[in-house]
Structure 1
Amino acid sequence: MKIYTRAGDDGTTGLYGGKRVAKTSARIHAIGDVDELNASLGVARGLADGAIRDDLAKLQSWLFDLGGELACPPGGKFDVRTIGVGHSEYLERSMDEQTKLLPPLRAFILPGGTSLSGELHRARTICRRAERSVLELAEVAPVREEARAFLNRLSDWLFTAARTANAEQNVHDIEWHPSEEF
């Protein structure tokens, strides 16, 4: 099977069910940002081990599911509902467990520390962009609340996992201190 079809040379792409939409549409921006987030988790996963690696694998699968859900417009041929409340609850439980092992936050922290922590922070920022894109889509088309909440919770999880990645390597989070004037 060839990877190219030439069907998108006119600036459109196909959704599940065959409907063609502009590649510049809010729906395609949302799908693309979720895909970019998934790719960034793949980079982080390559640096991770243990529970974080296992969770990243699970999250990549869930994000692929979410992309599929976003590619199925309501009222179309397919009605795909992949992300539910349980996905966000899983992230909350994971964060609660991780937080028990972390020092309390006493200041804002800067992204960095270990390479894995830096990649998780990068993924967090991509996640926030993906969330904004999905919210922009929700302004013009229905997007289920569970999907929107999941991305919000995922950015929190990525922040917590970045801190955990540092702690597991005995690397302190980098506290932010206001810059002094020159």
Structure 2
Amino acid sequence: MKIYTKTGDKGETSLVAGVRVPKFADRVEAYGTCDEANSQIGLALSLLPESVDWKELREVFHVIQTKLFHVGAELATPEGKKVGWPIGEEDVTFLEGQIDKLDADLPALTNFVLPGGHPAAAAFHVSRTVVRRAERKAVHVAQQEQVNQAVVKYLNRLSDYLFVVARHINKQTATAEQTLHE
């Protein structure tokens, strides 16, 4: 199988089940942004310092990156077609549990945290903003077509999780968080 197919040379791409749409279609924008978020998470993971054992966090992100691929597949599946890997409420609950686990060990928020700190934390903040954009695009698609609401919830919780992960990394690396000056 070749990497290039030439089928997109005229500005169209295929959704799941072979439905052809313009590359700027809302569904394409939504799943493309999920792909961008997944790549950004991969970059952020590559910046984790070797001085800390991140085994458990990496295992959680293996699940998350797989699920984010599934979210993209759901968004690439046109209305009325069967989704191969559906996202469910249990996936949202998994993220909530991970948020609660990390957040319990963090100082309480008393002000807005500015993105930054350790390079890995800063990269997770960027990941968070890309996921928020994916969420906005998924909501836009959901206003026009049928979209599994667990997809939107998953993206919402994932951005929350990425925020907590960034704070966790700053704490584990003894990097001070910068907050908003009033």
After TM superposition, the structure 1 = structure 2 runs for residues 48-67 of structure 1, keeping only pairs within 5 Å, are: 48=48, 49-67=54-72
1:153 aligns with 2:157: yes
- The structural deviation recorded for 1:81 is 4.8
Distance 1:41 1:147 in 2: 18
Q: Which residue of 2 aligns with 1:10?
A: 10
> CA contact under 8 A between 2:121 and 2:166: conserved in structure 1?
yes
Matches for 1:66-145 after TM superposition, within 5 Å? 66-76=71-81, 78-145=82-149
What displacement does 1:113 show?
A: 0.8
For 1:75, what is the secondary structure of its paired residue?
coil
Give, in whole Å, the separation in 1 of the partners of 2:85 and 2:69: 12
In 1, Cα distance between equivalents of 2:83 and 2:94: 24
Amino acid in structure 2 at the alignment position of 1:26: D
Two-structure CA RMSD over aligned residues (Å): 1.2
**TM-score, normalised to structure 1's length?**
0.93
% of aligned pairs identical? 38
Aligned length: 177
* 2:40 pairs with 1:40: yes
Q: Distance in 2 between the 1:126 and 1:79 partners?
A: 24
Aligned residue type for 1:46 = S
For structure 1, list consecutive stretches of 5 or more residues without a partner in the other structure: none
* Contact persistence 2:11–2:22 (CA under 8 A): yes
The normalised TM-score by structure 2 is 0.93
In structure 2, the gaps of 5 or more residues are 49-53
Q: CA deviation at 1:16?
A: 1.4
Structure 1 residue 59: deviation in Å? 1.0
Secondary structure at the aligned position of 1:8 is classed as coil
Equivalence map 1:15-34=2 (5 Å)? 15-34=15-34
